[in-house]
Chains A and B, each alone.
Chain A
């Protein structure tokens, strides 16, 4: 009985700091600290500690691993809130256990994207002030800065808060060390019909208005690349749509991984059934089909005809210096697609396979983002400069690793503070 009472105190493992969890958090803190050290080196000594250098005479790439992960993180955030909103709008109740972790994933991922942008600025403090002071809407970057970072992050936070209030109110009824926090998050929620009606309406309208802003925001990130006529390989109308689709793929992949971990951690069944994973798998499969279609279209166009420089960039990607990244990314995207199709046809889904697919598509997505950014810089000069080279240094790897660790840390802490899976209607009260 004592064990049952302990567990009944706060559901979903909230407040229960297990040894495994503590070790995990400490490891994440350690990696984050390493990244901080690396960034301090970058801040004091200048960005020369990275592998980035000027394009042109210096034969480098001026945007490298950082921008790869800016795009990656913003991309992952896309899937989270989209799935949460889709669940809400189409009343997919069997998927409700996913909703909160999807929202948390979006918020955390966007914050990581924002930090990654700041890490890539030569003058970060000045950047943070001058962007709010002088930002020009004529620059494609304006959309990323205002809509993505300020708008969509705030909207997702609002959505997360509003949908967490009920669970926080339930938790606040029980004595615990976190009661003060639960009371704040609950913000006076009373489970009356009127309140529920209001909540339903508010979240409905919020969901409807977030979706178009998401597509616009992600497209502006694509435009940052796609509008540059001077960069062979970038200048393409497909950049924006391809960004959005690959964002959905990678985000769904991370959500699968997260859901599998949560399912493992929960003391009992919280509704994360194989059917839920199957839905995610099917969603990811559809998006992957669209993305492979975009990839094939781009490749056909690039190899059939193109200016000499475009052809050269494509050649480097297919057979040259970047071919190993290209082909492994393609493999990491296509193999899961085949696996997902087979599972879909046979209607038998395996969660371990889905998790492996999730990991694979994310690695593939990082590779593709890298391939968008770098080859056009080192091999895509329109004037006859000598080809360049770029390889990230330990500083860039450390900063990126610390961002990933920080994200994992925040999600890990969130899980112990608020329920990562919504409490059911009848209540774990």
Chain B
């Protein structure tokens, strides 16, 4: 039985946030939505401050509170470990967002626009391309995925529904790596099947100690952190996220 998990090597992560960029391009998310987010943290008092970086995708928890609370079953966990959102069924109550201890959910507050890659319907695009080269739309984002045949890939489809990191379900089903994993220049992100003994992630599991975020919440996340240390009470972000819808 396949069981996907992600390993984050905090000793390697340099806070470049290329993974955030790749995620936004692959999944076509709108402004101020960060399915993959990298905390740039500092702790301690000057001059003894320490800096650290903490990538935070959706944790795809085994005991996901968001799955438990969804009133209509739009948020669900697959047998292969992915926690996905059926954006056709979602009623936009945002209960999953509140139940999640990690803050990975994003609600489409307005008609989705200002995407990272391209707003396909934007009138300005025509002026640039002259209509000759149609902008690239990833066709995988509009099709049903999985044995369950539900619309779960990509973000910013329409207003009024909640979305979050899908471990790039559209890529995983084609045996590709999620966009963030594929992009990381220092190999800080590793993705694979932890049940498969020969996979790199299973190897990391056996060789090195790891921790998971907010273990005391009982969510049993599928994202494993190697090296580094969990954020402490003293950790604070170096800069704030200015963007809001």
Contacts and interface: CB of A to CB of B under 8 A. Distances in A.
- Interface majority SS on A: helix, strand, loop or mixed? loop
A57 B41 contact: no
Chain B interface residue count: which class? 35 or more
Contacts, number: 160
Contacts of A145: 71
B1 interface: no
The number of chain A residues touching the other chain, given as a range, is 35 or more
Max count, chain A CB within 10 A of own CB: residue among B41, B90, B95, B98: B98
Interface stretch (B99-107, B126-134, B140-148): B99-107
A122 B98 contact: no
A62 B160 contact: no
B6 interface: no
Contact of A121 (B92, B104, B219, B231): B92
A115 B10 CA distance: 47
A130 B32 contact: no
Given A58-B241, A139-B68, A122 B92 contact: yes
A127 B74 CA distance: 11
B190 interface: no
A54 B163 CA distance: 11
Interface stretch (B179-187, B197-205, B210-218): B210-218
B109 A130 contact: no
Interface string B211-245: 00110011100000000000101011100110111
Nearest to B218: A229
Given A123-B91, A139-B68, A230-B217, A53 B98 contact: no
Nearest to A225: B98
Interface string A44-79: 011110001111111110110000000000000000
Contacts of B101: 229-231, 382-383
A377 B68 contact: no
B171 to A, nearest CB: 23
Nearest to A133: B72
Contacts of A60: 244
Interface string A380-411: 01111110000000000000000000000000
B237 A385 contact: yes
A330 to B, nearest CB: 25
Contacts of B161: 122-123
Nearest to B94: A62
A394 B101 CA distance: 30
B159 interface: yes
A62 B107 CA distance: 9
Given A46-B111, A230-B65, A384-B235, A136 B103 contact: no
B89 interface: yes
B223 to A, nearest CB: 12
Contacts of B109: 46-48, 52-54
Nearest to B243: A58
B7 interface: no
B118 interface: no
B229 to A, nearest CB: 13
B137 to A, nearest CB: 22
B97 A386 contact: no
Nearest to A231: B98
A136 B213 contact: no
Contacts of B245: 48, 53, 58
B37 interface: yes
Given A56-B102, A56-B105, A62-B97, 9 more contacts: A46-B111, A52-B109, A53-B245, A121-B92, A130-B72, A136-B70, A231-B99, A383-B103, A383-B214
5 contacts: A46-B110, A53-B245, A57-B34, A139-B69, A141-B71
Interface of B: 32, 34, 37, 39, 41, 56, 65, 68-73, 89-95, 97-111, 159-162, 213-214, 217-219, 231, 233, 235-237, 240-241, 243-245
- Which 6 interchain pairs have the tightest Cβ spacing? A122-B92, A56-B103, A230-B101, A122-B160, A127-B91, A48-B110
